[in-house]
Amino acid sequence: MNSRTIFAALWLARAAFAGPPLTTIQDVLYKADGTRFNGALTISWNSFQAVDNSAIVTQSTTVKVVDGNLRVQLVPNTTANPAGAYSVTYNSDGRIQFQERWAVPSSGQALRVRDVRVASAGGSSSADTGAVGPIQEADVVGLIADLGARPARGPSFAAGRVAMVNNTGLLESVTGAASDCVRVDGSSGPCGALPPSFVDGDAPAGIVDGANGSFTISAVPDPVSSLAIYRNGLLQKAGSDYTFSGRTVQFVASAIPQPGDTLLASYRLGGAETAAAQFYPTPQVLCSGTGAATSSLSLASVARCAIPAGVLAPGDRLDIRFDFEHQGTASGVSAEVRWGNTVALHRDGVASDVLVTGRAEAAILAAGAQLSVQSWGTTLPFATSVASASDPYSNGISIDIQGKVGDASDLLVLRQFTVVRFP
């Protein structure tokens, strides 16, 4: 075999394995705000035959763009059979930004994107056999996974209702009346429950004659262990002095009450108990103590009693008392008591009023309160007044005692204040 034959065979073998010609597209991509594009380009195409008769099969490739730098090599398709265009999808920030088509000619030099971009009229091109249709879910990075992680509607899902996640992970709608409350397990029912209430000073029914040992209290204690029976003020011991069942107290023979004995019972009630009971059956001191001093020329708080929610109920009465001392003789003084946002009492004294005192009563109504007040001082004449206050108290209410002086060299001191609740 001569050298010419060997050279021809080597050239043919090299041509067989060289692959189709490629055109380089190289550019720097920017966003409209002047920053460089970062993301990826997905380039797809349909099957075609290259200019060198290489068979190019339908496929796609993804090219990363870092800091705007794009470089990719593609087989020229302007001379392809059939003619077509590359479909290019720009992806950034986890979603498709936009799409375009490229027509790549043969070129020994690198081309820019503007050199290969196909301008479309009306959003379509007859030469674009690789045209892109509607965006598919799979084209959006992470969309399918995000949709799969989101709860889907269950068979009982309905608009305008509170949603819950059932035990299979589907969204259902809670059923119930419009006024019901929803529990954490998705069930519904009437809102809240009656809080435990108390019965104190209940006199068990029964004849106290030294022979009868059976007595009946007014309601069923809940819990039973809350029952306390007193005989002549002495606490009786369950099991040793008496036994209990339902509402019946049965004294043992050695502890049967004798004529003249006094029996009293105290116990708690459950929320469903309908017997008459009192939330706080005895007077309570809600606030008391010494107050602050002020030399302010405008009304300033010297004591505040914040009554929490659930303490006051219709039928209760509050007694509010206060005692001021005026130190100095340069000016008069003023004292004021506020029930929520309502001024219950305001008095202005003169310089000779060394002491100023007063009291106010708040009768708790179903809504708001009725206030009655009285006050006097060393020379300040005795005065009374009544007023209505619409301030709500179900979520708590504040009683604010304020004072001021007419000259900053004087001092007004709240020596003592007390707020007592009566059932």
Domains of the chain, by residue range, sit at 3-139, 151-192, 197-269, 284-422
pLDDT tens, position by position, 71-91: 999 999 988 888 888 999 999
pLDDT at 134: 60
Task: Supply the pLDDT for residue 125.
Answer: 39
Q: What percent of the chain has pLDDT over 90?
A: 49
Q: Which residues share a beta bridge with 245?
A: 248
- Output the CA angle 319-325-329, nearest 5 degrees: 145
> What pLDDT does 28 receive?
95
Least confident of 9-13, 92-96, 142-146, 222-226: 9-13
pLDDT at 163: 85
Pick the CATH number of 284-422 from 3.30.43, 3.30.70, 3.30.2310, 2.60.120: 2.60.120
- Is the per-residue pLDDT at 129 higher than 50? no
What pLDDT shows up at residue 2?
60
Give the pLDDT score at 186.
78
Is the pLDDT at 410 greater than 80? The verdict is: yes
Q: Please tell me the predicted confidence (pLDDT) of residue 160.
A: 77
pLDDT at position 6? 55
Mean pLDDT computed over every residue of the chain: 84
**Domains 3-139 and 284-422 fall in the same CATH topology:** no
Indicate if the pLDDT at residue 404 is higher than 90: yes
Question: 3-139 has which CATH code?
Answer: 2.60.40
Give the rounded percent of residues in the chain with a pLDDT score beyond 70: 87
pLDDT for 327: 95
Q: What is the pLDDT of residues 17-36, one digit of tens each?
A: 568 999 999 999 999 899 99
Whole-number Å distance between alpha carbons of 47 and 54:
11
Give the confidence band of 7 by pLDDT, cuts at 50, 70, 90: low
Q: Are 237 and 186 in contact (CB under 8 A)?
A: no
346-364 pLDDT, tens digit each: 999 999 999 999 999 999 9
Contact between 128 and 48 under an 8 Å Cβ cutoff? The reply is no
Q: pLDDT higher for 273 or 118?
A: 118
Which CATH architecture group holds 197-269?
Answer: Sandwich (2.60)
